[in-house]
Amino acid sequence: MKTIKTAVTILSILLMVTVLASFVTAQQVFTTSADNADNSGAHVADGDFGIIICSVESIAPIEFYITQNISPASMLNATLQLTAQNNDDISCNFNQVSEIKVNGNTVGTGIGNICGLHDVFYNVNPAFLIVGDNLINITISTGGCAGIYNANLIIYPTEAPPDSCQDTDGNNISTQGTVSGFLNGNQYSNADICLSNNTVTEYTCNLVTSVATNVSCGSDGFTTSNYCTTGNVYRDYTSFSCASGACGSSTVPQLIQNCGTSGFSGGLFCFNGNVSRNFTTVSCTSGSCGSSTAPVLNTTCQFGCTNAVCNIDPNLDTDNDTIPDVSDNCPTFPNVNQANLDKEIQVNDTIAPFFVGDNLGDACDDDWDNDGFNNTNEVLITTNPRDPCGIDGWPLELNVGSSGFNSTNKINIVDITSFLVPVRHFGTNVGDPNYSPRWDLVPGKGQFTTDINIQDLTALIAGPTAFPPMLGGAKAFNGPECPIAP
């Protein structure tokens, strides 16, 4: 009989343990480690979490939310765990906190007489809690200072919660969401994360199960057709990226074609008897560049237009020499005879077929013989301004030849060496025994200290005198002979 009673007792104990085990499951912990509320209870951080604050500060008291998802009806009990610290600067045997409340219900009156960081536990009636955000309020004692650095709400359910899954963003890759719930009695929470700079790991719910899927945020590329803006062709380009567990995109216009700038193009020309110039107008229409060109009046001509220049009055005679300007070779200098030496040489002298003259009459031509030296300088140099060739006519012709070199009617090394041998003219001044104006090809000192200097030598090989018009612009040094024999 005693054996039977003992067996019944053991069986009863085992049954009780089994029943309790079916109702008591692992604790669920809900944590807050950052400020998330202000004194009004709004979900706005006011900087009172994770630091020591005092009762006189405007951000006191300390308040924050802990979010939990267990129905109070299925809780066995609950505990609030605070990681707290009294002010180190005062005596630690003074309790710095006067009251701790959960959703307006007092659960404790202090955080202990300990200076350093320490954990304090408070029993919480499950009836004080709600599913969702639970407001925790820490009142600091008058004159006291304290800090809260972490908070846990520990809940012991009466039974294992059923498997569940909740998705806060509804499978929206553009928002960082969180999938949370219970699986086999264990609470879980998975936030969307970026797998790469263009791929997000998106957590979703498949019934009551959390599922992770890697999703591309999109392919970079053009997203519109060509369009016109600011007079040019553009097209929108969209770039996709992943940051903070959410996909995002940015779209910017990209220049496809610069249509250019409207403006004049080409030179002047005659159009409808006036001087005109083409004006090109560029435009952008329906995503394409275009242009149109039309002549624009430049100068109105009274007597017509020739070679992009207005014709002058055919009867105009500016210098009153009875020769109309249109045919006058010196329209501003009276010259009835229209004498033009270099042109006459070009036209009439059959022995000088290569001579090039100009259209200026002698009355207004400062180089009668077209040898590259103006008439005034030729007088100073002592050559004949009306004779283009020969040692007495062409200033560059300084020597007719020596030592096997034929320098007659042409310019070569002999003309250059004549500055030094047989008489040294180079480096002399007017009045010196060896000075001769014939070698002072650029009369005067210029920037030098002597009258015959480097600029006189240079006149043979460079500058306008070295390319006389009578040679048609050819270089005289080692070039063609003067077209007229001396």
What is residue 408's predicted lDDT score, i.e. its pLDDT?
A: 78
Beta bridge partners of 121: 81
Q: Residue ranges per domain, the chain?
A: 25-157, 163-258, 263-310, 366-486
Compute the distance between CA of residue 452 and CA of residue 440 in angstroms, rounded to an integer: 5
What is residue 14's predicted lDDT score, i.e. its pLDDT?
A: 37
What is residue 432's predicted lDDT score, i.e. its pLDDT?
A: 96
What is residue 362's predicted lDDT score, i.e. its pLDDT?
A: 92
pLDDT in tens, 389-430: 888 999 999 986 555 566 778 899 999 999 999 999 999 999
- Secondary structure of 321-343 in HEC code, one letter for each residue: CCCCCCCCCCCCCCCCCCCCHHH
What is residue 3's predicted lDDT score, i.e. its pLDDT?
A: 43
Single out the residue of 120, 137, 140, 119 nearest to residue 128, CA to CA.
137
Positions of the chain with pLDDT under 50: 1-25
Contacts of 396 (CB under 8 A, 6+ apart): 371, 372, 411, 415, 441, 459, 460, 465, 466, 468, 476
Beta bridge partners of 250: 239
- C-alpha distances in angstroms, 96 versus 54, 65, 86? 9, 21, 6
- Give one DSSP letter per residue of 341-395, joined into a string: HHHHHHHH-TT-TT----S--TTT-S-TT-SSS-HHHHHHHT--TT--SSTTT-T
Contacts of 469 (CB under 8 A, 6+ apart): 356, 358, 367, 370, 371, 372
pTM of the model: 0.44
What is residue 7's predicted lDDT score, i.e. its pLDDT?
A: 40
DSSP state of 43: S
Torsion sign (Cα): 225, 230, 233, 236: negative
Amino acid at 41: G
Q: In the CATH scheme, what architecture does the domain 25-157 have?
A: Sandwich (2.60)
